Amino acid sequence: VMKDDQGPMLAVIPASHSVDVDRLNDLTGRHLALMPEAELARLFTDCEIGAVPAAGSAYGLPTVTDSKLLTQDEVWFEGGDHESLLRVTGSTFRRMMRKGGVGPISRHS
């Protein structure tokens, strides 16, 4: 989860990658930085700290998805805790993310 003076934004990236903040800022025209973990608890009251689901729209968050994820046959993401994973088909994931932005916002860690 990223934030700036406009508020929070969810960046959905592959687990093996890290957010490329410069690319994300160029894509969104914002000045985003990682949100401190303590602030995440206030946004995601029904989730364990650090287990943010990819469904930013369910929390009213603008969301940008890394374009690499939209080419996958299936996508796995945390279900709000560190024990549950949700698996969706690629087409379902693309439908889930269709209202947000898309771009190359990550780099391999």
CB 19 within 8 A of CB 52: no
pLDDT over 90 for what percent of the chain? 93
- pLDDT digits 0-9 by tens, 52-67: 999 999 999 999 999 9
Quick check: 38 pLDDT over 90?
Answer: no
Strands of the chain, DSSP E: 2-4, 7-12, 17-19, 33-34, 63-66, 74-78, 85-89, 101-103, 106-108
pTM over 0.85: yes
Region 25-50: mean pLDDT is 93
